[in-house]
Every structure is written in C-alpha cells, then in structure tokens.
Structure 1
C-alpha cells in the first residue's frame, strides 16, 4: 500500500478529491476545497481519510 505525501491529490469515497495537508500514522488530513463543486456539496473543508480508503491521483512534482 502506497501512503500519500503532503501535496498529493487523493480520491476517496465516490469521487471526492482533495489535497493531502498532513500525514498521520493511520490516516491523512485532506483539504476538499480544490473540487469545482465544493460549495454545492455543502461539506466540511477538511476531512480525515484512512490510508486504506484513498487512491493517489498525482504527486506534488507532477502538478
């Protein structure tokens, strides 16, 4: 299992995407405000995602 790094864009649940802001032992803290439809979804700006529950979309040096 590849663990995300700060700055990675990750996808989880049904298509939610965000930028990793902090990496913890079992999870990452993700900023969801990068999504175009963020305001329409009426969700919190940040959330915690377990390492087993996300897919890394890109790395900081690929942006």
Structure 2
C-alpha cells in the first residue's frame, strides 16, 4: 500500500478529491476545497481518510 504525501491529490468515495495536508499513522487529512463543485456538496472543508480508503491521483510535481 502506497501512502500519500503532503501535496498529493487523492480520490475517495467514488469521485471525491482532496489535497493531502497532513499524514498521520493510519490516515491523511485532506482539503476538499479543490473540487470545482465543493460548495454544492454541503461538506466540511477538510476530512480524515484511512490509508486503505483512497487512491493517489498525482503529485503536484508531476505533469
């Protein structure tokens, strides 16, 4: 299992995306405000996701 790093964009729960802000032992904290439709979703700005529950989409240094 590859663990995300700060700055990675991850996807979880069938299409939700966020930028990793903090990596904990068993989870990451992500900022969801990067999604274009964030304000339509009625969600908190940040959420915690277990390492088993997301997939890494890209790293900000990759193009």
TM-score normalised according to structure 1 size: 0.96
Is 1:44 equivalent to 2:44 in the alignment? yes
Unaligned runs of 5+ in 2: none
Shift >6 Å, 4+ stretches:
none
Q: Give unpaired runs (5+ residues) of structure 1.
A: none
RMSD: 0.8
Cross-structure match for 1:56: 56
TM-score if structure 2 supplies the norm length? Answer: 0.96
